[in-house]
Homo-oligomer: A and B are copies of this chain.
Amino acid sequence: MTPEAKLLQMGIELKPVPIGDRPLIPYVRSGNLLFLSGVGPNWGDKTWKGQLGKEYTTEQGYEAARGCALNLLSAAKTALGDLSKVKQVVKVLGMVNSAPGFAEQPQVVNGCSDLLRELFGENGRHARSAVGMAGLPGNIPVEVEMILEVT
C-alpha cells in the first residue's frame, strides 16, 4: 500500500504546497537528497499557539508534531508527485518551543516520527535530534525540518 493510500485510510489527504514568492521555498533537491524547510503544526482547522510546559502538555505537543509531519509530507508530495519516490527518511530536526524546565522534547517529536515510520516502514526510521527552542515563528509549539533520500 502506498503512503498516500495509508493516509487516506486515516482520512487524511495531503495538500499541494505552493512555491510562493518568498526567498525561502518549501524544498530544494540536490542530487538524491530533498531538503525540506521547517514547518509548523497547523493542519486543517486546527491552529496552535503556545509553548510546551506552559500552554501545552506533552500529549498535545505529540499531536502538534504529527501536524508538522503532515505539512512536511505535503511538501514532499508536491516536490516528488508521488511519495513512493521516498527511498529513505534521512534526518529529522524536531524543534520544540519549550518553557523553562520542559525536558520531554523526544516524546513530543515522536508525533512526527511515529507517523513517518507508519507510512514508510523501515525506510521511515531516521536519524533525529529533538530539542528545545526559546521561541518559534508566531509562537507555534513545534517546528520540524527534514531531509529525504529520493529516487
Contacts and interface: CB of A to CB of B under 8 A. Distances in A.
Given A25-B125, A93-B129, A101-B135, 20 more contacts: A23-B113, A23-B117, A24-B113, A28-B88, A28-B125, A30-B88, A31-B32, A35-B90, A35-B127, A36-B127, A37-B127, A95-B129, A98-B134, A100-B134, A100-B135, A103-B139, A105-B137, A106-B137, A131-B136, A132-B134
Most buried by B among A37, A129, A136: A129
Across chains A and B, which 3 residue pairs bring their CB atoms closest together, nearest first?
Answer: A132-B135, A38-B129, A23-B113
A124 interface: yes
Interface string A30-50: 111101111000000000000
A105 B26 CA distance: 17
21 contacts: A23-B116, A24-B92, A24-B113, A24-B125, A25-B126, A28-B89, A28-B90, A28-B125, A28-B127, A30-B33, A31-B31, A31-B32, A35-B147, A37-B129, A38-B130, A38-B131, A95-B131, A98-B134, A102-B135, A106-B137, A131-B137
A113 B130 CA distance: 21
A91 B42 CA distance: 23
